[in-house]
Amino acid sequence: MAQPKVLSIVLAGGEGKRLMPLTADRAKPAVPFGGTYRLIDFALSNMVNSGFTKVAVLTQYKSHSLDRHITLAWRLSSMLNDHITPVPAQQRRGPHWYQGSADAIYQSMNLINDEDPDYVIVFGADNIYRMDVAQMLEAHIDSGLPASVAAIRVPRSEASAFGIIDAGKDRVIDRFLEKPKDPPGLPDAPDMSFASMGNYIFSRKEFVERLNADGQAKDSKHDMGGDIIPSFVDSHDCSVYDFTSNDVPGSTELDRNYWRDVGTIDAFFDAHMDLISVVPEFNLYNTQWPILTRQTQLPGAKFTLHGTAESSIVTNGCIISGGDVDHSVLSPGVRIENHSVVDGCVVMNNSRVGQNCTLHNVILDKNVVVPDGVQIGVDHEADEARGFTVSDNGITVVPKNVEVTPV
């Protein structure tokens, strides 16, 4: 039996306002994560590990860093016509940029026409999870319906914060509800609800028809979750795919069905902390389903002058010279000097922490210099006086390329 032709589209044009200042100079999918990765590496790794190697990444907002990363890191076999290609907004449908996620695909309809797929996979670019997308495609084909939406199970008590799917035992979606006050329970678990993951699979013909209709609708917001999916739901043509049924090779009981939206500073920080426990909630070390990226060419991490790191990820090129690192994630090229304490921190590429410093619950973006004797995350009023962002949960963020001034 011939394999179906599939085109994967990854939506990566998001601005990520809630992640400021980390998105001040880059698109949200380009934000570094986990020491050596970018957020988009998780979606692209899921595609490639699932066997889907014809991928278009639609970019728009401050996309240079993202475009460069995809071009350098994600070079597949041209001999087999495999490709992961960044596609910037091109104004193919008129003199305007993307007006929404559905409009991004509508304006890029040439990609679907050129590839001529049987099915179109549309995934987001900025969540942390593993997923065998081939299993979802198989469920989509078996459903006999032209649209499928992936969903996670969340407690009903928390479901009002999500886009919620109301579906019966046959998995056909009856309603798509945006942050409902009284979210519906599941037939097999009344205390749980289905929350949309923002990942979709469509049969090509019907998807193109809905995109064309939406593109002509003047009252539409041209949004995948707000317009395209509801149009399929209204005609009873959409099924839900239960993420808990997805079986990823090498997954553990703890990280099976792990999915995190890292759209806020606090969620971004918490997802990092999930990586570093003895038995991590999300296991980066699963070699059967690796998260792929381009590794920086630097020597191994070095520890001198009794420098230590406990319950931490310390990547290549780091030097811990007499400092103490605990429950932290250090990206390549970071240096921690003598008698400094870095506790509960995310430190991005090439940042420097001088001697006798204290950092607690801090995110340092790339190329930050912390002079000797400086404290960050200890006094939030002092942090804000320096112009740093302090999150609701007390995480201090120092922007890219900043040399911190002592108080």
* Domain CATH number, residue 138: 3.90.550.10
d(CA 280, CA 355): 31
Residue 403 DSSP symbol = B
Please check whether residue 101 lies inside any domain of the structure: yes
Q: Burial, 31: exposed, middle or buried (Cβ in 10 Å; 0-12, 13-18, 19+)?
A: buried
d(CA 350, CA 83): 31
Residues 311 and 233 placed together within one structural domain of the fold: no
Please check whether residue 1 lies inside any domain of the structure: no
Q: Select from 248, 266, 284 the last residue of a domain.
A: 266
Residue 78 pLDDT more than 90? Answer: no
Q: Burial, 141: exposed, middle or buried (Cβ in 10 Å; 0-12, 13-18, 19+)?
A: middle
pLDDT per position as a tens digit, 36-48: 999 999 999 999 9
Mean pLDDT over 191-205 rounds to 94
Residue 189 DSSP symbol = B
pLDDT, residue 223, reads 83
pLDDT band at 85 (very low <50, low <70, confident <90, very high): very high
Listed range (177-191, 231-245, 372-386) with the worst mean pLDDT: 177-191
Place of tokens 């149009």: 231
Mean pLDDT over 384-394 rounds to 95
pLDDT, residue 226, reads 85
pLDDT band at 168 (very low <50, low <70, confident <90, very high): confident
pLDDT per position as a tens digit, 337-356: 999 999 999 999 999 999 99
Residues 171 and 318 placed together within one structural domain of the fold: no
CATH code for position 354: 2.160.10.10
The boundaries of the domain holding residue 370 are 295-398
Is the dihedral angle over the CA atoms 155, 157, 160, 165 positive or is it negative? positive
Residues 67 and 124 placed together within one structural domain of the fold: yes
pLDDT, residue 319, reads 97
Structure-block tokens of residue 378: 């200890």
d(CA 110, CA 386): 48
pLDDT, residue 97, reads 67
Residues 307 and 257 placed together within one structural domain of the fold: no
Residue 73 pLDDT more than 60? Answer: yes
Mean pLDDT over 361-365 rounds to 98
Residues 82 and 192 placed together within one structural domain of the fold: yes
Please check whether residue 37 lies inside any domain of the structure: yes
Phi, psi of 243 (to 5 degrees): -60, -25
pLDDT per position as a tens digit, 263-296: 899 999 999 999 998 888 999 999 999 999 998 8
Mean pLDDT over 172-190 rounds to 90
Residues 196 and 131 placed together within one structural domain of the fold: yes
Mean pLDDT over 32-39 rounds to 96
- Three-state DSSP at 66 gives helix
pLDDT, residue 216, reads 84
pLDDT, residue 193, reads 94
Residues 233 and 313 placed together within one structural domain of the fold: no
Residue 379 pLDDT more than 60? Answer: yes
Residues 99 and 238 placed together within one structural domain of the fold: yes
Residues 384 and 256 placed together within one structural domain of the fold: no
pLDDT band at 222 (very low <50, low <70, confident <90, very high): confident
CB 30 within 8 A of CB 13: no
Please check whether residue 87 lies inside any domain of the structure: yes
pLDDT, residue 17, reads 85
Residues 199 and 337 placed together within one structural domain of the fold: no
Helix axes 40-49, 64-73, angle to 10 degrees: 30
Residue 100 pLDDT more than 90? Answer: no
Long-range contacts, 162-165 (Cβ 8 Å, 24+): 162/193, 162/195, 162/196, 163/195, 163/196, 163/225, 164/193, 164/194, 164/195, 164/196, 165/193, 165/194, 165/195, 165/196, 165/240
Q: Hey, which of 18-22, 143-147, 259-263 has the most confident mean pLDDT?
A: 143-147
What's the mean per-residue pLDDT of the chain? 92
Residues 333 and 232 placed together within one structural domain of the fold: no
Residue 114 pLDDT more than 60? Answer: yes
pLDDT, residue 169, reads 87
pLDDT, residue 93, reads 67
Residues 204 and 319 placed together within one structural domain of the fold: no
Residue 1 pLDDT more than 60? Answer: no
CB atoms within 10 A of CB 57: 26
Q: How far is CA 54 from CA 51, 80, 208, 231, in A?
A: 9, 10, 18, 27
Q: Burial, 304: exposed, middle or buried (Cβ in 10 Å; 0-12, 13-18, 19+)?
A: exposed
Residue 92 pLDDT more than 70? Answer: no
d(CA 323, CA 319): 9
Residue 2 pLDDT more than 70? Answer: no
Query: How many domains does the chain contain in total?
Result: 2
